[in-house]
Structure 1
Amino acid sequence: MKYTGFGVGTGVAFGEVLRMPDPLPEPADERATGDAATEYERAIEALRETGEALTARAATVDGAAKNVLESQAMMAADPSLADSIKSATEAGKTAERAVFESFSSFAEMLKSLGGYLAERATDLGDVSQRVIALLRGVPAPEVPSSDTPFILVAHDLAPADTAKLDLSKVLALVTRDGSPKAHTGILAAEKGLPAVVAVKEADSLLDGMTIVVDAAKGQVITEPSAERIAEAQAEIDRVAAMKAAPVEPGELADGTPVQILANIGKPADAERAAALGAEGVGLFRTEFLFLDSDTAPTVEKQTADYTAALAHFPGKKVVVRVLDAGADKPLAFLTEADEPNPALGLRGIRVLMKKEQILRDQLQALANAQAATEAKVWVMAPMVSDAHESEHFTSLAREYGLMTAGSMIEVPSAALLAEQILETSDFVSVGTNDLTQYTLAADRLLGSVAAFQDPWHPAVLRLIERIGDAGEHHQKNVGVCGEAAADPNLAIVLVGLGVRSLSMAPPAFVEVRAALKRVTLEQAKEIAHLAIFAKSAEGAKGRVVDALATRGVITTAVPVVEV
C-alpha cells in the first residue's frame, strides 16, 4: 500500500514502526468532590511543575527546539490561564476538567486568529496533556524507547517530544495530523529527519510493520518489496557519500556560481550552519530577540546577540532581515492586537516606518555588530510593497553606515515593481512562503488550502522570473530565502529564472549543491521555461522531472510543499 501526506525534507528511510502512545482521554465533566480552593491549588501546582520541566528541557537543546520549549513554558505560566482555571474550579469543576476546558478555550481562540498563532494551538494541547498527566499521577504520552532503530508514528508529535528525539534511533517520522509548517515539521527539518505529516491512514500503521518513508515524494509505503527497500538503501548510501565529500562552493556544471546560504533564527543556529558548509547567511531572522517580550530589547542587548551570530562568518555575507512583526507575529509594544485581518494589515516595513525608533535602534545595533566582527553585513526590509518603501529603508541604512541594503519581495506588487525597487535597493531576496500565500490567496498555515500553498505554481514562478529579469537588468543580486530553495529540482528552476543565491535550512545544502552541479545555466533556463508554462504546480513539477530525466540529470524527487 502507498499512503500520501506532506513531506518534510528530501530524505528516505525504512524500518519497523514504533507508535507513540495515544493522547490521554478527555477528563470527565463531573462535579469535584473536593472544595474549589483545593482543586485550584492542585491545578496551579501542576502548571508550575510542568513549566519548570519544560524550562529544564529547553536548557538542554538549541535552535528552534529551544524557542518552542521556552514558549510552552511561558504558556504554562500565563496568568490568564490561571484566572480561567480558577473560574472553572469555583464553578465546581475538577482540577483536571478545569485545566482541559481552559486550555481548549485558549486553543480555539488561537485557531480563530489563523496563521502562526493557529499553529501554536497544538503547543497548548501538549502543555494541557502534561498538566493533566501530573494531576492524574500517570506518565504523559512520550516517545517510546527502543534498543534498535525505528520509524516513529504518532497522531501528532508535540514540540517537546520532537526536540528530544534520539536521531541514532529514530529513522523517520510519520504523523496522522499536523502540517509541514507546524512546529513538528519545522523541528524535523532542522534535524534533517525525513518526515511525512498529515497521513490520514497513519492509524493503520502498527508496531512492528516494515515501511518506507519517502519524504521527497510525501509517501509512506507499507509491505515494501525487496527491490523497493534496496532502492531506499541506495538513496541513503548516495546521500551519505555526498555528505562525506569535501564541501565546495555552489556552482552549476559550467562554473556559474550560485551561493548556498543558510537560514538562521538566532546566534546558536549560526555555529551549526557554518559547520555544515554555509557560504554565508541568506536570512537571519531577528524576531528571536523581540517575540514574547513586552518591550523592545535595548541596543546593547541586540548588539551582543548580533555580534555572537556574525562572528561565525568572518569575511562572508550575512543578510539580516530587520524585525518582521505583525500578522502571525504580533508584538505588544509594536502592533495592534485587534486588527481584523493582520496578514493584510500593518506588518513588516509598514509598521517599522510608523514606529521608526525601533528600526533605528536595530540598525544601530547591527552597525555596532558589523564593526565588532569581520562579517559582511547586508540588511533587508521585510514586506516591501513599492519603491517608496525601499528607498526610505535604504537611506536609513546608509545613515547608520550599513552600505548594502535590500528589500524582501513577498507580495505581488513588489514583484511587479521589481525594476523600480532595484533602482533603490542593492539587492532583493524573494520570500517564497509569503509570495505564494499572497499570489494564490491561500493562508500559508491553513491545512484546507495547503494544496494552493505551493511555490511550484506557474503564477509564482512567473513573478520570480520578472524579479530575475530586473536583477539581470540592474546587475544586482536576486536571492531566494524561502524554503523553496531547499527543493533540489526547484532550485534548478529558480537559477534558470535569474536567482543567484539560495538560502535554506542547513540539512538541505548537500542535495541542492549536488543538483545544481548537474546542469549548465543554459539547461537551467530551458527547464525553467518549461515550468512557467505549465498549467498547475503539479504540472510544473512533472515537466521538470521529465526534462531532467531526458537530459540524464537525476535529482531527488520534488517535495510537495516547503517547510
Structure 2
Amino acid sequence: MQTLTGLGVSAGVGQAQALVVSPAPGLPEVDPKGEVKDDLKKITVALNKVADRLDYRAMHADSSGLAVLTATAMMARDPGLVAKVEAHLHTGAGPARALWDAFDEFCDQLAAAGGYLAERVTDLKDVRSRALAVLEGLPEPGVPTLDRPAILVAEDLAPADTATLNPELVKGLITAAGGPTSHTAILAAQIGIPAIVRCPEARSIVTGTNLALDGVTGTVLIDPEDAAVIKLTERADKRKQVLESAPEGESCTSDGLRVLTLANIGSPADAVTAKKKGAEGVGLFRTEFLFLERQDAPSKAEQADVYAQVLSTFDEDAKVVFRTLDAGADKPLAFADLGPEDNPALGRRGLRLSQVRTDLMDTQLAALAEAARKTDRMPYVMAPMVATPAEAKWFSSRARKAGLSTVGVMVEVPAAALRSSQVLETVEFASIGTNDLTQYAMAADRLQGELSELLTPWQPAVIQLVKATCDGAGDRLIGVCGEAAGDPLLALVLVGVGIRSLSMAAGKIQAVKAALAMHTTAQCEVMAQAALAAPSPELAKAAALKLADPSMEVLVS
C-alpha cells in the first residue's frame, strides 16, 4: 500500500478503481490563417456553441451547478474576450493561436490575483479547450461516460464536468492541481463526492489502480489494505457526528459568546449557496469580479443591481460586507492601467489605485448607496490595502459623503495592525485579510510555491498581528476574512485573541460552528496564548490542538 497526500476539499471516504481523465488537446500543429473577419466569425461561432452547450448542461444540474455553469457560459460570451481575440488576429495569428493567447491574457490576470480569483483560471481554460475542440472538429473534452463506479483522477477538473457527475458512480475526485475555493471543489462538496486537490503525485496514477481516499485529511491510498480503509471510514463517521452537532442558527461558543460565521463570495449566485450552507451573512464580497476581464468599467446601474441581489439574499439585519475594488498592479484592468511596476505586491493596488482613479471609487460607492435604497438595507463597505490613519479617513469621508454609514477597512498591512487604534478612529469595523497579512509579515510572495511553508496563518507572528489589531480596536467589531477563518482549530485561536466575526468559504461554516459550540471563551483564550508562545507554526497548531476538545481531532486536516 502506498499513501499520497493532497488537500481535502470535500468530506467523505471513497473507494473504487481509478479512471484517469485525459487532458484536453493543446494548440494544433497546423493553424491556417484566413481573413480576419472570417477567422473572427469562426471563433465567435465556436464560443457561442460552447456557451450553448454549457447552458444545456446547466438545465440538467442542481441549483448550485446551474449557477456555476451559467457563469461559465457568460465567460464564453464575454465581448471583451472576443475583442482580445480580434486584436491577436490583427497581429497575424491564426484562429487557434489568437483564441489561445486571448485566453492566456485573462488567465494571467486572474493567476496574478491569487487566492479565490486564481482558481477561476480552470474555468477559463476549460472554455478555451472546448472552443478549440469546436474549431478543430474534435470531440468535446472532459469526463468520459461511466459504466461502473470509479474515482476520477485528473490534472484538474472543470466545473462543467463536475456539476453533472453522478455520485452513485463517481466515488471520489483527485486532482494534481486545483484549490480549496475552486468551483470544482465547491461543487464536489455540494454534490456529496469526496474530493482531494493539490495532490501532485496523483500524476503517477494509472487507470484501473485500486484507490481509497479521505476528503477531509487529503489522504489517498493506492492498493489499500482493508484495515486502512476501515480506519478512514471510522474517522469519517466520527466527523459526521461532530458536524451534525453544529447549531443551525446563530453561532456561539459554549458559554454564549456571539461569533458571526459569514461567507466569502464573488457573485449573487455564491450568496444563495452560502445561505444554504448556514452563512449568517457575507464577510467579504469581492467586487473585483465585476471589473476583471472587461474593456470598460461596469456602470453604476449594473453594479447596483448586483449589490442589491446580494443584500436581498440575507435577513434585513445581516452583516453583508462589500470590499471596494481590489485591483491594480498584480490585477491590472484594461481601463485603469497605471503602468508597469517592479514590485506589484507593494505597488498601487487596492485603495492606492482608487485614490488615483477616484471616478471608479465614487461610482462604486454611489452604486452601493443605490442598492441600499433599493433594498432598504444598509451594506457594510470596506477598503482594501489601508496602511495609515490618513488613508482610512480619506475612504471613510468619501463613503459617508455617498450616503453609506457603516464603513470599515481591511487590515492586510502590518502597519495597520500595529497602529489599529489610530487607523480605526474614523471607521466602525475592520476585517483582517490573513492571506496578504501573512505575505507581508513573512516577506514571502504568496504566489511563490517554494515559500508555502512561510505562508501559513498559523505563524505566531501573524497571530500576534491579529491580536494587536483587536487590542487597539476598542469596541469595534473585528473580523477575519482570509482563509484562516475557515480552519476550525485556528478559528478558536482567533476568537481567543479577540476576533468576533469569521468569514470563510461556505463549505467550511458547519465545521467552524461545531468547533465554537464545544469550547468556552476561556478555552479559546488559553489556546491563543499557547499558540502565541510557540516558536513555529507547527508547534502553535499542535499546542492549540492539545488544549482543544478531543472531538476536534476529526475536524483538523
Shorter-chain TM band: 0.7 to 0.9
In structure 1, what is the Cα distance between the partners aligned to 2:33 and 2:295?
A: 33
Alignment of 1:319 onto 2:321 = yes
Counterpart for residue 92 of structure 1: none
Which of 363, 366, 369 is residue 364 of structure 1 equivalent to? 366
Q: Distance in 1 between matches of 2:353 and 2:397?
A: 17
| 1:106, distance to aligned residue in structure 2 (A) | 6.9
- Would you say 1:513 and 2:513 are equivalent positions? yes
1:6 and 1:179 in contact (8 A); partners too = no
Question: Deviation at 1:107?
Answer: 3.9
Report the equivalent of 1:248: 249
Structure 2 residue aligned with 1:49: 46
- SS in structure 2 of the partner of residue 254 of structure 1: coil
Per the TM alignment, residue 547 of structure 1 is displaced from its structure 2 partner at its CA by: 2.9
Q: What secondary structure, in the 3-state scheme, does the structure 1 residue paired with 2:309 have?
A: helix
> Contact 1:55/1:73 (CA < 8 Å) preserved in 2?
no
Q: How many residues align?
A: 545
**SS of structure 1 residue aligned to 2:200:** coil
CA contact (8 A) 1:85 1:99 kept: no
CA contact (8 A) 1:14 1:171 kept: yes
Q: CA 1:50–1:8 in 2, change beyond 3 Å: closer, same or farther?
A: farther
Matched with 1:556 is 554
Deviates more, 1:438-447 or 1:501-510: 438-447
SS of residue matched to 1:144:
coil
Q: 1:462 aligns with which of 460, 464, 469?
A: 464
CA distance in 2, matches of 1:226, 1:455: 36
TM-score by length of 1: 0.85
Structure 1 counterpart of 2:75, from 57, 71, 74:
71
Distance 1:303 1:39 in 2: 37
- Is this contact kept in 1: 2:245–2:514, CA < 8 A? no
With over 3 angstroms needed to count, the CA separation of the structure-2 counterparts of 1:489 and 1:204, relative to structure 1, is same
Q: 1:171 to 1:382 in 2, by over 3 A?
A: farther
Closer, same or farther: CA 514–304 of 1 in aligned 2, 3 Å: same
Structure 2 partner of 1:9: 9
2:419 maps to 1:417: yes
Tell me the percent identity: 39
CA RMSD of aligned residues (A): 3.5
Q: Which residue of 2 aligns with 1:298?
A: 299
Summarize the Cα distance change of 1:248–1:2 in structure 2 as closer, same or farther, 3 Å threshold.
farther
Against the structure 1 CA distance between its residues 417 and 248, is the aligned structure 2 distance closer, same or farther, given a 3 Å change threshold? same
Structure 2 unaligned regions, length at least 5: 59-64
Q: Which residue in the other structure is 2:62 paired with?
A: none
**1:289 CA drift (Å):** 2.4
Amino acid at match of 1:259: L
Alignment CA distance shift 1:244-1:498 (3 Å) = closer
Tell me, what secondary structure is at the counterpart of 1:444? coil
Structure 1 residue matching 2:297: 3-state secondary structure: coil
Post-superposition offset of 1:496 = 1.1
Q: Who is 2:439 aligned against?
A: 437
Distance in 1, matches of 2:483 and 2:294, equals 27
Shift of 1:408: 0.6
Residue 112 of structure 2 is aligned with which of 108, 112, 115?
Answer: 115
Structure-2 separation of matches of 1:438 and 1:358: 26
Aligned positions of 1:114-513 closer than 5 A: 115-116=112-113, 125-146=125-146, 149-167=149-167, 169-180=169-180, 194-238=194-238, 240=240, 242-243=243-244, 247-313=248-314, 314-471=316-473, 474-513=474-513
Match of 2:459, as an amino acid?
H
The answer on whether the counterparts of 2:4 and 2:199 sit within 8 Å (CA) in structure 1 is yes
Which residue is equivalent to 1:524?
524
Letter in 1 for 2:75: S
Aligned-residue offset at 1:442:
2.9
CA distance in 1: counterparts of 2:503 and 2:15, whole angstroms:
32
Whole-Å separation in 2 of the counterparts to 1:105 and 1:304: 29
Report the AA paired with residue 70 of structure 1: M
Match status 1:99 vs 2:96: yes
Distance 1:129 1:211, change over 3 A: same
Alpha-carbon spacing, 1:109–1:285, altered in 2? closer, same or farther (3 Å): closer
- How far apart are the structure 1 equivalents of 2:366 and 2:260? 28
The equivalent of 2:34 in structure 1 is 37
1:438 and 1:58 map into 2 onto residues whose CA distance is: 42
The Cα offsets for residues 58-96 of structure 1, whole Å up to 9 and x where unpaired, read as 68255555445533554995444456467667xxxxx7x
**Displacement after TM superposition at 1:479 (Å):** 0.4
